[in-house]
Amino acid sequence: MEAAPTPFDHEGLIRIAEEFRCPVHPKQPLVGYDANHHTFLCILCIDGSSEELIYQRVDNPEIAVDAVRSQLIQSYCPDHPTDNVGFYCHEEKIMRCMQCIPLTCVKQQHEIIELQGFYQKRKLVLDGLDSQMARLNKNKERLLKEVGEIRAREAKALNKYFLDYIQMIQECQAEALEELENRSRELVSVISALRIPEVSKWEEEVARVSNSS
């Protein structure tokens, strides 16, 4: 008969598997799961071990989580070594087999979870979340593209507005300068016309005085 494994914190192991970081060397990703010692390993753990380790290779978080789930479901009940555990008791925080449930959990009205169904539902939820995240990322990319297009259109419209405004100012300046020049010429003509008789009398007087001398 195969020996029953020692108890292990499956919820803690699943959290480690999902984070996919070594609990001993947090900067290192996981590379294996040691089912005999109920622990995840990184390359530093393996290289630094003084004994030859037997472990399951894990390449990503999903495989790491499945390794823990598989061991959990295949574990033997400590009270009934011939039976695999298939249930988890919330009140006692332990796993139970089918024989334990009527004798303990049901009798004491404990909340129990059927492990296989629980993990299947959990996987469905996680798959649903992954699908939602994919849709959200797609919508995010679409919205960012639309925002970029709106900003580009607004920048183009604003640039055209300023160019039109500058052109209008330049046209107004040109019209004002032209009007000023026209007024200046008219004023010069008026002044010249007013000064001609006086200049003529002055010249006649100068000539008379010169002749009398």
- What does pLDDT average to in each consecutive run of 10 residues of the chain (213 residues)? 47 85 91 83 89 85 79 62 70 72 70 71 74 84 86 84 85 84 76 58 63 63
User: Is 0.85 surpassed by the pTM of this model?
Assistant: no
* pLDDT given for residue 3 in this prediction: 39
Strand 32-34 and strand 39-41: pairing?
antiparallel
* pLDDT given for residue 50 in this prediction: 82
The answer to whether 47 and 27 are in contact (CB under 8 A) is no
The answer to whether 39 and 49 are in contact (CB under 8 A) is no
Q: What is the DSSP string of the chain?
A: -PPPPPP--HHHHHHHHHHTB-SSSTTSBP-EEETTTTEEE-HHHHHH-SS----EE--SHHHHHHHHHHHHHHPBPSSSTTSB--EEETTTTEEE-TTHIIIIITTTT--EEEHHHHHHHHHHHHHHHHHHHHHHHHHHHHHHHHHHHHHHHHHHHHHHHHHHHHHHHHHHHHHHHHHHHHHHHHHHHHHHHHHHHHHHHHHHHHHHHHHH-
In 3D space, the residue among 113, 71, 72, 73 whose CA is nearest the CA of residue 92 turns out to be: 113
* pLDDT given for residue 166 in this prediction: 86
Q: What's the gap between Cα 178 and its chain centre?
A: 60
The answer to whether 77 and 85 are in contact (CB under 8 A) is yes
* pLDDT given for residue 207 in this prediction: 65
* pLDDT given for residue 22 in this prediction: 92
User: How many Å apart are CA 84 and CA 99, to the nearest integer?
Assistant: 10
Supply 6's token pair: 């020692």
